[in-house]
Each structure stands twice: as C-alpha cells, then as structure tokens.
Structure 1
Amino acid sequence: MKIRSSLFAILTLAFMLMFTACHARNTAPLPEGPDYSQNRYWSIRAEKISHPVDVFFVHPTTYGPPANGHFIADLTDKMLNEVTDRDTVDWITAAFSGSCNIFAPRYRQVNIAVMKIGEAEKKRYMETPVSDIKTAFKYYLDNLNDGRPFLLASHSQGSNVMQLVLLDNPDLLDHDKLVAAYMPGWTFTDKDLDELGLELSESPDQTGCLITWNTIGPGGISPTVSEGAKCVNPLSWNTSKKEFPASMNAGAKIFISPEKTLEVKHFTSARINNEGALEIPTPPENIAKQLNMSLGKEVYHRYDYDFFFHNVAQNVKKRCEAYLNKK
C-alpha cells in the first residue's frame, strides 16, 4: 500500500511539473506598461472641463479568447484599442458624459481565459491590471482632477480591478470627494463594503455610496455572482427585494453591433433575488435572439448598463446635483 501511495504521489508531482512547464512555455512575456502622462494610454482623457464633476471609468474585459499564451493585453494592439473604445468605453461612458468629465485609462487587462484557470494563477495575472489602474488613478488624482468631486464607474473585470485597488490601498479614496461608485458586473460582499468604508445605495440621491448589480434571467447562473453578493436595483436605487415594474425603466440602449442599437422604453422589470443577483424576465424573443449570451443562458452580464442605460444617466445627474447642492 505504501508503494502504491508513493507511486501515486510521484506521478502526481510529475504531472504538475509537466503542466507548469508547458504553461510557462506557452506564456508570452509581459507587455510594456503604460505611462499615463501620455494621451495614448487613455481611452478618454477629458481635455475640455465642462462639468463640475468627473468620472474615472475602468472598462470591462474586451480581450477575449483565444489567448494563445498571451494572457495580458498589449497596449500597442491598435485593433483591440479601437474596438475597446468604440464598442465599450464610448458606449458605457455616454451614460455619464451629460454630467461628468470622462477619464478612462487603458490598462493591461487579462484575457477572459484567465477566469477559467486556478485561483492562485489567476491572482498572479491580476496583479498587472491592478497595478496599472492603481497607477492610473493616482495619476488622475495628482494631475488631472484639480480638486473636483468625482464618481467611480466600472464593469466586470474593471469592477474587480477597482475593487482590489481600493481594498489594497484604502487611503487612495477621498470619501469626501466621492459622489458615488457605480461598479456593476462583479460581486461585492458585506465584508468588502465594510473594508471599503462604503454603504450600498438606498435612495436615488444618496451620495458617497456604492451601486452594484449583476443581471440574469430566470434560472441564470452568472460567474460574477459569488456567495454573499450584494445588489442595488437600478430601477429603485435601493436594496429592496420587491419587484419593480418595467414602467420605472426609463429606457434600454442595447448594443448589438457598431451599426445597430436597440432603444426600448420601459424595457424590463427587475428584482433582487435570494442569491444577490438582479433578476429580470426573459426579454422578448425578437430582442433575445440578437443578444450576446457568451456567459450562458439567461446571463445578461454584457447588458448590465444597456438594459438600464437611461436610468443610469438620469441617476448620475441626480446624484451629482445632490452632491453639489450639499456643498
């Protein structure tokens, strides 16, 4: 029995070493890091300051598979930058641009394939985007903000990265200047909120709070919803678990392709379910068949902002006004 156990241990170790070596051979060198004093390392860097409030926006994953060993995005990849700007950064920040000056850094995001590897390996890869966004946020505060109040905004990987930056560097965030933090597409727990020193939104004009949600349909299982996930309903802007009607939906603005957008007033109702996800009814078939469902059936992660686009835009305006009226 001892011989069999020893043989099993030796074979297991050999397999692990072989896997590690193979993985190392297929992993590309780390791409060069950003210099945020240069405009080319910003998707948007407001040159004309036309609002009394800024937003610092961290975009979601736009670097998809196959990774082919390149698990960290190269910031000199012009096509990736163009698609990121056009299909994601410009799209989401349009909900904020009516009220805020936009500052959206580029960063060495991880490929979506990283989300499928082991936690230890994932943590190692995440060090790069976290380092970039920490540097970008510090540069923004020291050189671009000029003392203005600001919002934080993000989605998906961007929310995860910003969460890690703030958890690891709590002194970076000036709570007195924070209007609100819109960070959907990732899990925030009570422990996270306590360590961040932030409360969830409980009213549409509350300031200094955090707003997060993860959109699914009936039976949807989202990989971004973990145990203990908290949620704010973007129809009511509170944590009530009652269902709020589609009549409260000011309008969806749904990205289908660079050439096609769907604008749908009163698009959907929404409620917070027992797992802390934002649950909506399955969209009408004529719309559902056009959606990107890459994360699984009834997982509307890609559309966290889209389905509530005009509610977000209206709410950003309301919170900015509430903050400025207090000063």
Structure 2
Amino acid sequence: MAKKFLYFIAICIVLFLVGRIGYEMFKDELAAFALVPSNEFTPTEPLEANAYQDPALWYSRPGIGVNDPARWQPAYAADVSSGGENPVDRARDAALPNFAVFFIHPTSYLSRNNWNAPIGENADEEAERIARIYIRGMASPFNGASEIWAPRYRQATMGAFLTDAPEGQQAIGAAYADVLEAYRYFLSSIDDDTPIVLAGHSQGSLHLLRLLREEVAGSAETDRLIAAYAIGWPISVDHDLPAVGLPACATAAQTGCLLSWSSFAEPADPSSVMKAYSNSLGFDGKMRGDSTILCTNPLTGKFGGSAPESANLGTLVPDDSMSSGELVPGAVPARCDERGLLLIGDPPELGSYVLPGNNYHVYDIPLFWANTQADVARRVRAMEAAN
C-alpha cells in the first residue's frame, strides 16, 4: 500500500509540473481561449441623445445618496485609530473648495458572450457587482469632491485586450463612445467655473487618455483641470506623454498635470506586461519599445523617486468579499524603478486577486488610498491659491 501511495504522489507531482510548465508556455493562449469571444463583433447602437440624463446610467452622481459607492469612507483599523485623531478624519473634516470628479471604472465584464458589456435591463449582474466594488475602492479616495460622477458604459470585455483581432479594437472604440457621451453630459451638468478631476483605472485609464487627447487638449477645460489620474495603464514618456497634452506631475502641488503608476511587489516579474507594452504602438505611431513608463510615486505625488512605508498614510486592506475594508498606515513603501514600474517591496496580504509576477494591478489605488486622497486635496488647494 505504501509503495502504491508513493507512486500516486509521484504521478501527481509530475502532472503538476507538466501542467505548470504548460501554463507558463501557453498562458497567453489559455487566457485568450477562456476570455476572447468567438462570435463576430456586432456594432453597438449609439445611445440616444442625452441618454446620460437617466440616473440609471450612473453608478455615482449627485442625488444617489447612501447607495453611491464612490461616497464610501473607510475607517482606520481599530488598533491604529484608537490612539486619537487619524489622517482620514482630518482630511474629511477640513473643508475643500468645490470641485467635481469624473471617474471611469476598470474592466468588470469577463464574459465571452459579447464583445461589449450590455447595460440597462440586460446588464450582466456579475459585471455590475464587480464594477460597484471597484468604484467603492478606487473612486472613494476622491470623495472630498462636491460632486463625483462615474458612468455605466458598454465596456469592452476582458478578452478584447487579449487579441490582435480587429474586433478587440472595435469593442474598445465602442466603449469609448459611451465614455465620451457621459463626459460631455458631466460637463453640461456642472458649473462652468467648477474645477475638475479626471480619473480612471486600467480600461478606464485607456479611455481617459483618449479623452485627454481628443476632447480635453486645447479646450477650455484645461484651465480648470486640477489633475488627471490615469492609473494602471502604461504610458510611454517618449511616445505617449507628448500627445496627451498634459505634463507629468513633477511636484506634489502642481495642477493641470498627469499621474500614473503600475504596482508590483518584489521579486517582480513584469515580463508579460513589458512584452505587450514593448510591442505596442505609442500615441505617436511609433513602437513603444523599451521606452520608460510614466511612474508617479503616489507617496510623494512626484514623478519618479522613492519613499519609505512610513510615508504611506493608509493602505485600504479589503475584507474577503472585497466590499469593505480598513485603512492600515505604513503598510508598503513605493519606488519607481528604471523601467517606470512602481515597486512596493515584499508582497502585502491584500487578498487573492494578485496577478502573476507579483502584479498588484487590482490594488493600484487601494495600496495608496489615503495618500491619493491627500494628493487630490493638496492639488485642489493649490489651484484655489493660484486663482
């Protein structure tokens, strides 16, 4: 019996090793098989004129009240806040000038059934649930704003980013068309002199970058733009940034500038990300190659550099459901490396959604929740002082 058991264990180990090697060799192909739709792309019908007047097309906007996920405010862990006042309380209590935020959520639709997520009555319940969780954790650092607007849009499914087929780009373009309409309605709904923050993550950042290039650059909105937070999407300093129309934020109180970072714990293996980045076309039509990625250090609010964990005012550590969490200060440091990736030291325990290679993509904003909130407040006050 013991001999048979050892044979069984040996076979399991071999199967595991073979499976692991197969995964490493063909992980891109396996991901594409699981997530890329096999059906033809069906062009989305344009939304009706002024469709975004309907509150149902917004996750967050004025008037939603207690069900607005972006208005969630986490607390510090009990063993931290018991000693007295904490930075989040101070930030919340300190009155800020009026400003409005437009936030574009990341990909929450994973289905192979459609190239673009349905919205309205036919919306995918799981995609809706995940989107609200993302907004709760990623848009809430901006909740010092007088108004937060986060639209529902017919986002491209995850598989659209895993294929070179033209359907992928068509789906991304269709998603952007909705974002553009939502942005225009957002502008029409706020006062002409209200300062604005534009923010997004992952797919949301991709749409934000196009919005900056095609809609914001050269418009009256550039004069009232506090900052643009295009987080979780690699931006080439040489091939993308000049076309965006905004400089990288060089100082912590600079306004009218762009912030971006992509987080990896160490040891980091960004090979798959860097391969896709290097083989892609920049906004100038040239290959991005080994050009440096824009890296804002979220602990300092400056381009590049490093900061110790003591500078981290609070990492949002989620619970198992990812629907709530608490802030823990001093959890991780931040260092921009020579490639432009943001390294956060040893892997922190934040949950089960860490991607291969110690890629903390899903946690880009929660890792620096309190610092992001402080960063926004600092730039808002800098714009008020300048005006």
- Quickly name the TM-score band, shorter chain normalised: 0.7 to 0.9
What is the alpha-carbon distance in structure 2 between the residues aligned to residue 307 and residue 260 of structure 1? 14
Residue 94 of structure 1 and its aligned partner are, at CA, apart by 1.2
Q: 1:300 to 1:89 in 2, by over 3 A?
A: same
What is the alpha-carbon distance in structure 2 between the residues aligned to residue 321 and residue 315 of structure 1? 10
**Code of the aligned partner of 2:254:** Q
1:125 aligns with 2:171: yes
What is the alpha-carbon distance in structure 1 between the residues aligned to residue 367 and residue 203 of structure 2? 19
TM superposition score normalised by structure 1: 0.83
3-state SS of 2:209 partner: helix
Give unpaired runs (5+ residues) of structure 1.
Answer: 1-22
Residue 28 of structure 1 and its aligned partner are, at CA, apart by 6.4
1:75 aligns with 2:114: no
Residue 230 of structure 1 and its aligned partner are, at CA, apart by 1.0
Residue 196 of structure 1 and its aligned partner are, at CA, apart by 2.0
Residue 79 of structure 1 and its aligned partner are, at CA, apart by 1.7
1:250 aligns with 2:263: no
3-state SS of 1:176 partner: helix
RMSD value over aligned CA atoms? 2.5
1:153 aligns with 2:191: no
**CA deviation profile, 1:18-58 (whole Å, cap 9, x unmatched):** xxxxx997236455554111111111112399961001100
Residue 112 of structure 1 aligns with which residue? Answer: 158
3-state SS of 2:115 partner: coil
What is the alpha-carbon distance in structure 2 between the residues aligned to residue 140 and residue 114 of structure 1? 27
Residue 180 of structure 1 and its aligned partner are, at CA, apart by 0.5
1:222–1:299 Cα contact (<8 Å) kept:
no
Residue 199 of structure 1 aligns with which residue? Answer: 247
1:247–1:266 Cα contact (<8 Å) kept:
yes
1:265 aligns with 2:329: yes
3-state SS of 1:137 partner: helix
Q: 1:78 to 1:25 in 2, by over 3 A?
A: closer
Q: How does 1:8-87 map to 2 (within 5 A)?
A: 26-27=39-40, 29-30=42-43, 33-34=46-47, 35-47=51-63, 52-64=98-110, 66-68=111-113, 70-76=114-120, 77=123, 79-80=125-126, 82-87=128-133
1:215–1:301 Cα contact (<8 Å) kept:
yes
1:221 aligns with 2:270: yes
1:138 aligns with 2:187: no
Residue 220 of structure 1 and its aligned partner are, at CA, apart by 2.6
Question: Percent identity between the aligned chains?
Answer: 29
1:93 aligns with 2:139: yes
Residue 19 of structure 1 aligns with which residue? Answer: none
Residue 15 of structure 1 aligns with which residue? Answer: none
2:108–2:128 Cα contact (<8 Å) kept:
no
Residue 67 of structure 1 and its aligned partner are, at CA, apart by 1.3
2:251–2:303 Cα contact (<8 Å) kept:
no
Residue 168 of structure 1 and its aligned partner are, at CA, apart by 3.1
Residue 207 of structure 1 and its aligned partner are, at CA, apart by 0.6
Q: 1:48 to 1:109 in 2, by over 3 A?
A: closer
Return 96-105 or 176-185, whichever deviates more: 96-105
3-state SS of 1:181 partner: strand
**CA deviation profile, 1:121-150 (whole Å, cap 9, x unmatched):** 322221111111111111211233443110
What is the alpha-carbon distance in structure 2 between the residues aligned to residue 144 and residue 307 of structure 1? 31
Q: 1:24 to 1:314 in 2, by over 3 A?
A: closer
What is the alpha-carbon distance in structure 1 between the residues aligned to residue 97 and residue 124 of structure 2? 30
**CA deviation profile, 1:194-251 (whole Å, cap 9, x unmatched):** 122211112211111100000012223176553432111101111233x310000111
1:239 to 292, 297, 303: 303
Q: 1:145 to 1:183 in 2, by over 3 A?
A: farther
The count of residues paired between Structure 1 and Structure 2 equals 298
What is the alpha-carbon distance in structure 1 between the residues aligned to residue 46 and residue 272 of structure 2? 29
Q: 1:196 to 1:173 in 2, by over 3 A?
A: farther
What is the alpha-carbon distance in structure 2 between the residues aligned to residue 223 and residue 166 of structure 1? 27
What is the alpha-carbon distance in structure 2 between the residues aligned to residue 269 and residue 143 of structure 1? 39
**CA deviation profile, 1:81-102 (whole Å, cap 9, x unmatched):** 6414530113222101123410
Residue 7 of structure 1 aligns with which residue? Answer: none
Q: 1:119 to 1:278 in 2, by over 3 A?
A: farther
1:326 aligns with 2:386: yes
2:307–2:334 Cα contact (<8 Å) kept:
yes
Return 317-326 or 258-267, whichever deviates more: 258-267
1:311 aligns with 2:378: no
